[in-house]
Chains A and B, each alone.
Chain A
């Protein structure tokens, strides 16, 4: 390794320079403390924390988890202690250890989102990710409608100068239509995918495996779906694209970046291999060395479609 030039692992997302392109995704890494024995949020490009809402939420009744082949079905239902609690306790700690913090925000109404973002705007949170795509709460998510996506993005754009990321749902007919609506509304980046909806049944009890009946799928089972959507989206928009869904190994991250992602997130992959974020960072660096790439961002969009 001595005679290889060091790879520049930094990437720019929504105008912010990140240490590397690897993030852990919202809802799978809490508020950054649970995996401290294995990795620190400060080692990541950024941490996308669990969704926060203006008031605390209980979430759905258990069971909330069911396994699927190469994946997991969840129906957490956005249990969280509320944005104020996050601002008072977790955020100052995350900033004190040097983490780049992306705050995932959720609301029942546009005003809920706005109220959260107003509070976060006063803090040193680095970016805001609007979760308009949770499959586990009642009603049609905003992220299933292009006009509603654009309107909400625009409303939030007028409240904060912080970079806004729109988290896209795969449960739509056209992912690019919603991504373009987010861009038109003034988003700085899109992140995708949130969980496609799924279901399992226990044939002995004839009951659904999840108390909430349906849930969101994650893990390697959704990787090809995510990759296709990231590729379509990256080809459609000019803003940053954060791609994820089913990433476990560094090879998956390379694929995701080749398809057009500027950065990647790891979610359910943590359940399989809690050390995966560090292994993915290391693997990306080695891939760059082996392929004479001086900057990790050179992987992005390097897909060759000619046969």
Chain B
């Protein structure tokens, strides 16, 4: 984990209506040990910011010199981020947490919903054509990053809730169709709790390993404050314990999560 100030080299609008941005940092230090599924905590609001908490974002992809994250403007912190200009310096903590158990010998299905697609994009960048992605969005305004999955050699199917782009429906339908092909060893899912829960439920009928990335509200991001816990099965009297999304997660084995 590094606590550094890094220079922004790009903060590009990907989807005007959806207000989705791609932010790239020039930092060989940050990109050095970063694994897909891990995340960074970014300080927002500038000097003497009224935002005490740093904002967590998954690594979308990195090369030896740069790190890219992608974000949707949803509140005051991400609103501030949308005004960042190249050359600006950002305080970044990371890489944090435990990422996806990427394994190129395994055929992996990547399942992403809304901003959850950025975490699985990280896995796509490592797995390439050993994986396939199914992505769900609310509407066509929010569809983004599809070309990036393809550039990593990953075939993509899209589904939208209102049918404005790709098929109409929920991502679970695409997951079921893919799994019925009996090709996959592993499934990685990141999206809303509702989506992850229903996909994990569906997967119980298939012989595949399934991992989910859980984005819980967090404070420290490093494991110190016990703020971002997730209920996980455990070998104790009550049968469960609270584990930290920022330290033991955000990626958990779906079979161990108590939804």
| B43 within 8 Å of A (CB atoms) | yes
The answer on a CB contact under 8 Å between A70 and B52 is: yes
Main secondary structure of the interface of A (DSSP, over half): loop
| B257 within 8 Å of A (CB atoms) | no
Could you mark each residue 258-296 of chain A with 1 if its beta carbon is under 8 Å from any beta carbon of chain B, else 0?
000000000010111111000000000000000000000
| B228 within 8 Å of A (CB atoms) | yes
The answer on a CB contact under 8 Å between A65 and B3 is: no
Q: A30-B223, A59-B229 are in contact. Are A274 and B3 (CB under 8 A)?
A: yes
On chain A, the residues within 8 Å of B43 by CB distance are 272
Could you mark each residue 213-256 of chain B with 1 if its beta carbon is under 8 Å from any beta carbon of chain A, else 0?
00011111111111111110000001001100001000000000
Complex partner residue of B52 from A30, A72, A76, A275, CB under 8 angstroms: A72
Interface residues on A, range: 35 or more
**Can you name the residue of chain A whose Cβ is closest to the Cβ of B221?**
A271
Stretch at the interface among A32-40, A85-93, A94-102, A120-128: A32-40
The answer on a CB contact under 8 Å between A79 and B52 is: no
CB distance from B175 to the nearest CB of A (A): 26
Could you mark each residue 64-97 of chain B with 1 if its beta carbon is under 8 Å from any beta carbon of chain A, else 0?
0000000000000000000000000001010000
| B2 within 8 Å of A (CB atoms) | yes
Which chain A residues numbered 71 to 90 have a C-beta less than 8 Å away from chain B?
A: 71-72, 74, 76, 79
On chain A, the residues within 8 Å of B1 by CB distance are 37-38
Which chain A residues numbered 236 to 277 have a C-beta less than 8 Å away from chain B?
A: 268, 270-275
For chain B, the count of residues having a C-beta within 8 Å of the partner chain is 32
Q: A63-B217, A67-B53, A70-B52 are in contact. Are A275 and B3 (CB under 8 A)?
A: yes
Could you mark each residue 21-64 of chain A with 1 if its beta carbon is under 8 Å from any beta carbon of chain B, else 0?
00000011110011101100000000000100000001101111
The answer on a CB contact under 8 Å between B216 and A63 is: yes
Complex partner residue of A271 from B220, B226, B231, CB under 8 angstroms: B220
On chain B, the residues within 8 Å of A18 by CB distance are none
CB distance from B68 to the nearest CB of A (A): 23
| B206 within 8 Å of A (CB atoms) | no
> Measured between alpha carbons, how far is A38 from B223 in the docked complex, in Å?
14
Given A29-B224, A74-B225, A76-B227, 14 other A-B contacts at CB below 8 A? Answer: A27-B226, A34-B222, A34-B247, A58-B238, A58-B241, A62-B216, A62-B228, A64-B217, A67-B52, A270-B224, A271-B52, A271-B54, A272-B43, A272-B53
Q: A37-B1, A59-B242, A72-B219 are in contact. Are A67 and B227 (CB under 8 A)?
A: no
The answer on a CB contact under 8 Å between A62 and B229 is: yes
CB distance from A234 to the nearest CB of B (A): 26
On chain B, the residues within 8 Å of A65 by CB distance are 53, 217-219, 225, 227-228
| B259 within 8 Å of A (CB atoms) | no
On chain B, the residues within 8 Å of A66 by CB distance are 217
On chain B, the residues within 8 Å of A28 by CB distance are 220, 224-225
Which 7 A-B pairs rank lowest in CB-CB distance, beginning with the nearest? A34-B224, A65-B227, A30-B224, A65-B217, A34-B223, A219-B52, A37-B1
**Most-contacted residue by chain B among A63, A64, A69, A219 (CB, 10 A):** A64
**Most-contacted residue by chain A among B3, B230, B247 (CB, 10 A):** B3
**Most-contacted residue by chain B among A33, A65, A268 (CB, 10 A):** A65
On chain A, the residues within 8 Å of B51 by CB distance are 67
> Measured between alpha carbons, how far is A61 from B228 in the docked complex, in Å?
10
> Measured between alpha carbons, how far is A60 from B54 in the docked complex, in Å?
23
